[in-house]
Amino acid sequence: GENVEQHPSTLSVQEGDSAVIKCTYSDSASNYFPWYKQELGKGPQLIIDIRSNVGEKKDQRIAVTLNKTAKHFSLHITETQPEDSAVYFCAAFGPYDKVIFGPGTSLSVIP
């Protein structure tokens, strides 16, 4: 069946370094790709998203890139801070009513 792979499953970086999380999706008709951050005891929070007609999007320290040909997209966090520590999920939406989440990446930022 359709799925979304996410790597790595855990990631530790020093404060100030960059973090990169990659996702690969299988359905070439997927058209919306959000990234969520989930802190302990909270629900997922949308941090950035990208649609299939865009290759890159940036919001301050966070950026997402999409390669439709290879069917993968990546989250880039620069100048990481301890408060960036959380579990990050990618997802692929569409076509129609399909929603598939990746298994998550636990990011630890070491002060």
Partner 1 sequence: ETGVTQTPRHLVMGMTNKKSLKCEQHLGHNAMYWYKQSAKKPLELMFVYNFKEQTENNSVPSRFSPECPNSSHLFLHLHTLQPEDSALYLCASSEDWTSGTYEQFFGPGTRLTVL
**Which residues lie below 8 Å from residue 24, measured CB to CB, with a gap of 6+?**
4, 5, 70, 71, 72
Q: Quick one: which segment of 19-27, 62-70, 74-82, 100-108 binds partner 1 (CB under 8 A)? A: 100-108
Amino acid identity, residue 65? Answer: T
Q: Does 82 bind partner 1 (CB under 8 A)?
A: no
| Beta-bridge mates of residue 20 | 76
Could you tell me whether strands 56-59 and 32-38 are parallel, antiparallel, or unpaired per DSSP bridges? unpaired
- Residue number, 1 or 111, with CB nearest to partner 1: 1
Binding to partner 1 by residue 64, rule CB under 8 A? no
What residues make contact with partner 1 under the rule CB under 8 A? 4, 32, 34, 36, 41-46, 49, 89, 91, 93, 97, 99-104
